[in-house]
Structure 1
Amino acid sequence: MLQIGKLAQKADCQVPTVRFYESEGLLPEPARSMGNFRLYDDTHLQRLLFIRRCRAKDMTLDEIRQLLSFRDRPELDCGEVNALVDSHIVQVRAKIKELRELERGLMDMRRSCDTVRTSRECGILNSLAGPV
């Protein structure tokens, strides 16, 4: 059995993160010691690591909830898991497109100030101060 600090350390996260996932219902409530300390077992650690891997792939808490639901019921067909990941891929592609547009805008802004000038003449500052 692990106390919360040791669990967080093994999962490479902070104690408040563990508490947050508990409050969100992603981690089951742990047993308590006689001194009322939370006591976690390997099941908690494995679930926390799963959540952390999902978060590393930028999955939302709702997506993680769904994946955990499937993980908790291994007899289910994984077609819905595939659909969830396919949907996430679409979201990631949309973010990539937005980031590319942001990059182009920043590069255009940077080109507006290719020579050294005073701050008053700075193309970057003037473009940021101008109308949206």
Structure 2
Amino acid sequence: MNIGQAAKLSGVSAKMIRYYEQIGLIPQAIRSDAGYRHYNSTEVHSLRFIRRARDLGFSVEQIAALLVLWRDRDRASGDVKAMALSHAAGLKAKIAELQAMVHSLEHLADHCQGNDRPDCPILTDLAELTAAAEQRSQAPQRVPRFGAGTPASSH
């Protein structure tokens, strides 16, 4: 089948299929005499696997590792489980960060009058954080002199 058919059956766009070939996530497709890519059902199955892994938020590097495990019939399922749990922990951390952002934005919005006046605690907060970061980056870095501020070493 051609790349368009493979894309339709796998749910992966033709552009992404070419990209996955380029980075070595999938092998280069067999080409016809005219230069067209041809895919078989096994390759489409691999593309579906990649699509599902991407849907679950795995990175390309993680998907490459998962593909190796998937193709290795002597693998330990514990390796796959460890990858999945590690990824889930990363997603939970990202969710916590996003929830903290939502909370901050809602808190700021609750304190904004939302009227015709220019006063806006949202903009004030953003400006204060920016100013504080600038002050930290412009503050001279104190480099201690040799032995200053460190416990005396015993000789």
TM-score by length of 1: 0.89
In the alignment of these two chains, the number of paired residues is 130
Structure 2 equivalent of residue 80 of structure 1: 79
Structure 2 equivalent of residue 15 of structure 1: 14
**How many Å apart are 1:128 and its aligned residue?**
2.9
Identity of aligned residues (%): 31
Secondary structure of the corresponding residue to residue 55 of structure 1: helix
CA RMSD of aligned residues (A): 1.5
- The amino acid of 2:6's aligned partner reads L
- The amino acid of 1:32's aligned partner reads R
Secondary structure of the corresponding residue to residue 86 of structure 2: helix
Structure 1 equivalent of residue 120 of structure 2: 122
Structure 2 equivalent of residue 48 of structure 1: 47
CA contact (8 A) 2:50 2:63 kept: yes
- Which structure has the bigger radius of gyration? 2
**How many Å apart are 1:122 and its aligned residue?**
2.8
- The amino acid of 1:48's aligned partner reads L
**How many Å apart are 1:121 and its aligned residue?**
2.0
2:127 equivalent to 1:93: no
Structure 2 equivalent of residue 66 of structure 1: 65
Show structure 1 runs of 5+ residues with no match.
none
TM-score by length of 2: 0.77
Q: Which has the higher contact order (CA 8 A, sep 6+)?
A: 1
Distance in 2, Cα, partners of 1:109 & 1:3: 53
**How many Å apart are 1:14 and its aligned residue?**
2.1
Structure 1 equivalent of residue 135 of structure 2: none
Distance in 2, Cα, partners of 1:69 & 1:14: 22
Distance in 1, Cα, partners of 2:9 & 2:108: 44
- The amino acid of 2:18's aligned partner reads R
Secondary structure of the corresponding residue to residue 46 of structure 2: helix
Structure 2 equivalent of residue 108 of structure 1: 107
Structure 1 equivalent of residue 141 of structure 2: none
